[in-house]
Structure 1
Amino acid sequence: MKLKHGIRSIGEAGNHVFNYNRQIIHLGKLGKVEDARRIFSNMTHKNLVTYNSMISVLAKNARISDARQFFDKMSIKNLVSWNSMIAGYLHNDMVEEASELFDAMPERDNFSWALMITCYTRKGKLEKARESLELVPDKLDTACWNAMIAGYAKKGQFNDAEKVFEQMPAKDLVSYNSMLAGYTQNGKMHLALQFFEKMAMRNVVSWNLMVAGYVNSGDLSSAWQLFENIPNPNVVSWVTMLCGFARYGKIVEARELFDRIPRKNLVSWNAMIAAYVQELQIDEAVKLFMKMPHKDRVSWTTLINGYIRVGKLDEAQEVYNQMPCKDIAAKTTLMSGLIQNGRIDEANKMFSQIRARDVICWNNMIAGYSQSGRMDEALNLFRQMPIKNVVSWNTMISGYAQAKQMDRATKIFQAMREKNLVSWNSLISGFLQNYLYSDALKSVVMMGQDGKKPDQSTFACALSACANLAALQLGKQLHEYILKSGYMNDLFVNNALISMYAKCGRVQNAEQVFRDIECVDLISWNSLISGYALNGCANKSFEAFRQMLSEGAIPDEVTFIGILSACSHVGLANEGLVFFKCMIEDFAIEPLAEHYSCLVDLFGRMGRLDEAFNIVREMKVKPNAGLWGSLLWACRVHRNLELGIFAAEKLFELEPDNTSNYITLSNMHAEAGRWKEVERLRMLMREKKAGKQSGCSWIEVQNQIKHFLSHDLAKQRPENIQIILNTLAAHMRDKCNISDMESVYDIL
């Protein structure tokens, strides 16, 4: 009897352990890590499966350091333990750590090798992956070969993928589908179709890959044709086609397909609700949600996201409160909604309540603080993150750039272990935003040295830097590089080229780029109109504006800034007022400070200072520094000291560190003989200059950007200046027949 009782007790204990293990895995899938750990701690009996389950749960919920602690504490480890830990590192993109653990393994199986090959291919280390494949003892195991094929195919190296595929001693369906996925996921649908038709074996996954490939390529007719020919479509087939219709705004066709699905499961219901959310048809999404026989976390989260997207945050919170089982995805979604609505502190309160935060949750909160300019709080969270991915680093770079702290943005960038294209573009864009144009161009060069190829964003930023530096030769070189890189059909790049040539004074080149664009947009027109205005071609600006209207384009605020600027450059006051009135009455555009600034500049240039000042007094928006600067300049030219003092005082409030405003007013006082005021302003100016960065100018000389800093003793070369003066005087004598050169030297 005692023996039977003992056996029964052991059996019961085993059942308890089995059930506890299942609970731990289930809670891990729900993101309830602390609950899983509580069960683990309360277990009187634990086996290897228990420890392995906890390692997997922690790793998949971004608690990789905790997972490693569990692993290290295990007195007995089996192959599953080692593989679980490596898989955890793989899940968190920690290739080096996975590689170190793999090297330390006492023994390996086929799964171990397949994990490492996958790990290397995900990070683009294809040579290392191929070396690992060569070392696999069991050459007949298809998993390792398939991982290698998938790695090559994902990177678009089809020749290498095909060689591995041909060398395989045995092929299975996964092998064929890995090759097919490489073609479809890279948009090579012609090659995909050829391979699909020659496949020795295929299943519903093969058909679904083809349908998804055509959907991603925007070829819905081919996708639909293939879908209708699938012998036995599964729910993935239906949902793939449904999502294809939804992606391209064919919501009616998506609903018709949904209604045809013979056996709707949760995935199909959720896909249709998501389709309505994407089209902002929240009422239809709610109707469908209410009809669902069963709802899961995705259903609730999708509806929450729908309400957030249409700006109904209170309704989103109500749905969240009704959600029976709130997971990290729902909490992160609502948190993002609060951030989008500027309710950062409420978002942080929710963030604090989330126990097991994943990297998406951390990144959303950091982005919220960054976008609000609260960089100290963003940095504090960034430092606390247990695992940072490249998005985390890029968010910090962009945040510091937006906060005009490029020194800190640069330090973050330099501290990154792995930089991607977005990292470089964030840095380059940050330099551009902060007027550090030379640094932006240097970063483009360094990016190439780092082995990263520029994209349309890189080129647009580089061209904008050239435009602001008036670096025509560099701009031309970039144009040639763009031609070779295949980005000449990109509208974003073309618009940047128009601006670059216009700002460098090459209007004809700007016109040619504009003419070569197949389908121009509003930014193209605005770039051309502003380019004409900048170069004093007012009539061409007006002509482009009329042509733009005739082609059905609707102008915006930027269009009229260009038009009013054109009027200002050539002194067309009446025409400027007509365009200003047209903007308000015909196009219902509320004037911005920039529009008023153009009018003030226009009347100021013509000496009509009273009218200019009346515009300032009567405008509905708050005047900016550009507007007061235009008025001050006009007062300087037309010697209106009283109004100039008023404009300057406003500028001192808006731009206390801009010494050029002090210089302008000081010169006005000097002309009026008010020397005490001149001395007072100069004293103020010296105080502002103390501790501030020197003024900087630049010029393009022999294809290089040369900098000139004020008070830079290294650049003061009296003998060189004298040589240049003599050369200029000689040229002037030859060209202008100036006989009295003493007067010329007096001017210089």
Structure 2
Amino acid sequence: MSAGEQGSQYVFNKNIRITQLGKSGKIEDAIKVFTQMTQKNTVTYNSMISAYAKNGRVNDARNLFDKMSRRNLISWNTMVAGYVHNGKVDEAYKLFVKMPRRDLFSWTLMITCYTRNEEVEKARELFDSLPFSYRKDVACWNAMISGYVKKGRVNEAKRLFDEMPVKNLVSWNSMLSGYTQNGEMRLGLEFFVRMDERDVVSWNLIVDGFIQVSDLDSAWKFFQEIPKPNVVSWVTMLSGFGRNGKILESRRLFDQMPSRNIVSWNAMVSAYIQNNKIDEARRLFEEMPEMDSVSWTTMINGYVRVGKLDEARELLNKMPYRNVGAQTAMISGYIQCNKVDEARKFFDEIGTHDVVCWNTMIAGYAHHGRINEAVCLFKHMVNKDMVAWNTMISCYAQVGQMDTAVKIFEEMGEKNLVSWNSLITGFVLNGQHLDALKSFVLMGHEGKKPDQSTFACGLRSCATIAALQLGKQLHQVVVKSGYLNDLVVSNALITMYAKCGRILEAEFVFKRICHTDAVSWNSLIGGYGLNGYAKEALKLFEDMASEGMVPDEVTFIGILSACSHAGLVDHGLKLFKSMSEVYAIEPLAEHYACMVDLLGRVGRLDEAFEMVRGMKVKANAGVWGALLGACRTHRNLELGRLAAQKLLEFEPHKTSNYVLLSNMHAEASRWDEVQEVRMLMNARSTGKEPGCSWVEVKNQMHRFLSDDSTQSRAPEIGTTLTRLTAQIRNTFHISEISA
């Protein structure tokens, strides 16, 4: 072998070594090999760029890419793929645009990048700009169909499928998965029958589709008809039985398998764990002929699931090689058991953390309200991914620090749908409903399409501030976006229309839901009660029972509130009694508040007070507030003072409570007490945020704060109020004269 051939072989071997080390996560060893190489070629640089990217060090990959004196098409594709692998979609596209030349792989890679990131519109724009020479290649078409399928946009996937100039089996299976993954099994079955050819993947998709909709009989029927089932077929059916609690069927199928690989064993262990049969899982685990990291991690997760942390830690210590997935499971277990400090100690003992490990620990701190520690850990995270940023937005939102949450959101480089949803949800949780709706609109301007969570939050804000016109517009967008059949969105629509006083529209939405849940019934029952339709609420409650839907705590809050507003005392008392006697539901403070309000409205104050004294749970502000309101109505000053005293312990800064008590004293001509309450109110309300209200005018929401001197139209508003007051007085004066 000549010196040149030896040199080429040397470089070839080193390049392979760098690739192997990069794939196995040994990035430092790969760097060492790269640095020590006396000869390097373009392949060497490409291998090292790929190794960096696969280990999350995409910035190092880019630095090396920029230093290359000569780049080929593979170099560009490798760097784009590196950005794609690390979720850096914008950076990937910027580099894609700069490429001096692109091949089919370049286009397919970028389209797939967008579809995996659920940015289907951007993927479609790229797809539509494909060079003519690549238009007939099925790879990009298949990537685009898969993108629509992933987003649940099956109709658009089907339209694209029908337009394909050439189809292969992957195309047919991609379209079939669109139906099966989205629960459209009738259409899926029709499509399956029409397929020109099928392979075992096609059969597996049908079996899995029926399992997803819990139709195990059909799944089993098709499984038995598979011409040549493979391991995936057996594991799919086995896992389906396990997920649906049929563990005996799972084990029987496992024992019947003609051949088992490690995936089969792991699936059976997982099935035992899902059904909380940890001892059986452990026995099978110990029988395994070989184990991989998934085997160990699954078993450790099983112990964590049932709260046996000592056993989980013991098993982790026996692992022949430490796996960050198993270690992360251990951290999650400590966090679930409220042992956050132990979780952090274990986190610090891990040599190399991946992003999931970082995010688990940060989310653990956030979940337990330890914001400062979450922030500190977040700052030390080297390669922050979108999950980490989104966690911090939610973290600040949970503790009411929306200004900081907004700052974090703005500091993010790239934002995905979860980022926007985290921000909008934060605004809703903190009562900033106008900001939530503004963010909803801004999100659309940024090219992000809302999902069911976004729509639910937007509709909830419309409901809270009674923004009917905005709510109607959102309803139209829901229809156009294809989320009308989503149960969460439909329930939010019911609530929105009900709280805006449009009970007929709420009924219409309810009636068109195919499969209602308890939230659907509760939303309409609560809506009837809110709008004074007590008889309709009671009728719907009866229908709920006849439909086999079991009422819950929220159901009774709605129905008792309806009885209260309508003065149906006997009905209310009967329903309240049935909670514990018929439905085994222990009343909450909210239920007692409804009953106190019910009895108080008809003047049965002694019974209301006795009910409060006999409560099995601690009274809250709602209970004492209901009693205080009833005392004011029926002028029971002594009981009212007691209720007010209790109420002020819960809400010492709420001005309306002081005003109510003051008015009661005034009506009894106890002016000294009036002055005393007023002084106490002024002392305690210092620094309290002013009252706020909204009004919708010409499709725009306007917010008004009490004593707001900055309101630009304050003089005009004042003049109009004076004119209206005068007209009202004149009307009453004329009525009195006419009488």
TM-score by length of 1: 0.81
Q: Which amino acid aligns with 2:720?
A: N
Matched, 1:379 2:370: no
Tell me the distance in 2 between the aligned counterparts of 1:575 and 1:79: 78
- Structure 1 partner of 2:153: none
Q: Which amino acid aligns with 1:335?
A: I
Q: Give structure 2 stretches of 5+ with no counterpart.
A: 149-155, 180-186
- Structure 2 partner of 1:720: 720
- Structure 1 partner of 2:615: 619
Question: C-alpha displacement at 1:121, in angstroms?
Answer: 5.3
Alignment deviations for residues 109-165 of structure 1 (CA, whole Å, 9 cap, x no partner) = 7766654554455454336644885398xx79x9x7524532344335455566665
The answer (yes or no) to whether the contact 2:347–2:361 under 8 Å persists in 1 is yes
Alignment deviations for residues 480-537 of structure 1 (CA, whole Å, 9 cap, x no partner) = 5555555444433443343334333444554454444444332233233333333444
- Structure 2 partner of 1:564: 560
1:495 aligns with one of 462, 481, 491: 491
Tell me the distance in 2 between the aligned counterparts of 1:636 and 1:366: 50
Say if 1:527 and 1:82 are closer, same or farther in 2 by CA, change over 3 A: closer
- Structure 2 partner of 1:146: 139
Say if 1:647 and 1:241 are closer, same or farther in 2 by CA, change over 3 A: same
- Structure 1 partner of 2:581: 585
2:175 aligns with one of 166, 174, 183: 183
- Structure 1 partner of 2:152: none
Question: C-alpha displacement at 1:299, in angstroms?
Answer: 0.9
Matched, 1:134 2:131: yes
1:161-240 correspondence to structure 2 within 5 Å? 165-166=165-166, 176-187=168-179, 189=188, 193=192, 196-197=195-196, 208=204, 227-228=223-224, 232-240=228-236
Matched, 1:61 2:21: no
SS at structure 1 position matched to 2:737? coil
The answer (yes or no) to whether the contact 1:632–1:648 under 8 Å persists in 2 is yes
- Structure 2 partner of 1:363: 359
Say if 1:179 and 1:471 are closer, same or farther in 2 by CA, change over 3 A: same
Name whichever of 626-635 and 483-492 sits farther off. Answer: 483-492
Say if 1:218 and 1:505 are closer, same or farther in 2 by CA, change over 3 A: same
Say if 1:424 and 1:334 are closer, same or farther in 2 by CA, change over 3 A: same
Matched, 1:404 2:403: no
Name whichever of 352-361 and 469-478 sits farther off. Answer: 469-478
The answer (yes or no) to whether the contact 1:184–1:209 under 8 Å persists in 2 is yes
- Structure 2 partner of 1:344: 340
The answer (yes or no) to whether the contact 2:124–2:144 under 8 Å persists in 1 is no
1:55-134 correspondence to structure 2 within 5 Å? 55-69=49-63, 83-101=77-95, 115-116=109-110, 118-119=112-113, 122=116, 124=120, 125-126=122-123, 129-130=126-127, 134=131
The answer (yes or no) to whether the contact 1:61–1:356 under 8 Å persists in 2 is no
Tell me the distance in 2 between the aligned counterparts of 1:462 and 1:23: 49
Question: C-alpha displacement at 1:390, in angstroms?
Answer: 3.7
1:537-686 correspondence to structure 2 within 5 Å? 537-571=533-567, 576-671=572-667, 675=671, 678-679=674-675, 681-686=677-682
TM-score by length of 2: 0.82
Question: C-alpha displacement at 1:292, in angstroms?
Answer: 1.2
Tell me the distance in 2 between the aligned counterparts of 1:375 and 1:724: 51
Name whichever of 103-112 and 404-413 sits farther off. Answer: 103-112
Q: Give structure 1 stretches of 5+ with no counterpart.
A: 167-174, 742-748
Say if 1:318 and 1:649 are closer, same or farther in 2 by CA, change over 3 A: farther
Question: C-alpha displacement at 1:462, in angstroms?
Answer: 3.5
Tell me the distance in 2 between the aligned counterparts of 1:507 and 1:130: 45
Say if 1:429 and 1:109 are closer, same or farther in 2 by CA, change over 3 A: closer
CA RMSD of aligned residues (A): 4.3
Alignment deviations for residues 287-342 of structure 1 (CA, whole Å, 9 cap, x no partner) = 32222111111011112222333344443333333333221111222222222333
1:471-482 correspondence to structure 2 within 5 Å? 471-479=467-475, 482=478
SS at structure 2 position matched to 1:656? coil
Matched, 1:329 2:325: yes
Say if 1:570 and 1:231 are closer, same or farther in 2 by CA, change over 3 A: closer
Aligned length: 717
Matched, 1:467 2:463: yes
Percent identity at matched positions? 53
Say if 1:25 and 1:720 are closer, same or farther in 2 by CA, change over 3 A: closer
- Structure 2 partner of 1:428: 424
Say if 1:106 and 1:244 are closer, same or farther in 2 by CA, change over 3 A: same
Say if 1:253 and 1:57 are closer, same or farther in 2 by CA, change over 3 A: farther
The answer (yes or no) to whether the contact 1:669–1:678 under 8 Å persists in 2 is yes
Alignment deviations for residues 693-718 of structure 1 (CA, whole Å, 9 cap, x no partner) = 32112334455444332113443544
Alignment deviations for residues 39-82 of structure 1 (CA, whole Å, 9 cap, x no partner) = 65997878667776554444223232344456567788777665
Alignment deviations for residues 64-108 of structure 1 (CA, whole Å, 9 cap, x no partner) = 234445656778877766554433222112234335556777888
SS at structure 2 position matched to 1:738? helix
Tell me the distance in 2 between the aligned counterparts of 1:539 and 1:106: 73
Q: Which amino acid aligns with 1:146?
A: A
Question: C-alpha displacement at 1:681, in angstroms?
Answer: 4.3
Say if 1:340 and 1:235 are closer, same or farther in 2 by CA, change over 3 A: same
Tell me the distance in 1 between the aligned counterparts of 2:652 and 2:65: 60
Say if 1:209 and 1:470 are closer, same or farther in 2 by CA, change over 3 A: closer
- Structure 2 partner of 1:746: none
Tell me the distance in 1 between the aligned counterparts of 2:528 and 2:243: 40
Tell me the distance in 1 between the aligned counterparts of 2:362 and 2:682: 40
SS at structure 1 position matched to 2:704? strand
- Structure 2 partner of 1:739: 737
Tell me the distance in 2 between the aligned counterparts of 1:275 and 1:727: 74
Say if 1:416 and 1:192 are closer, same or farther in 2 by CA, change over 3 A: farther
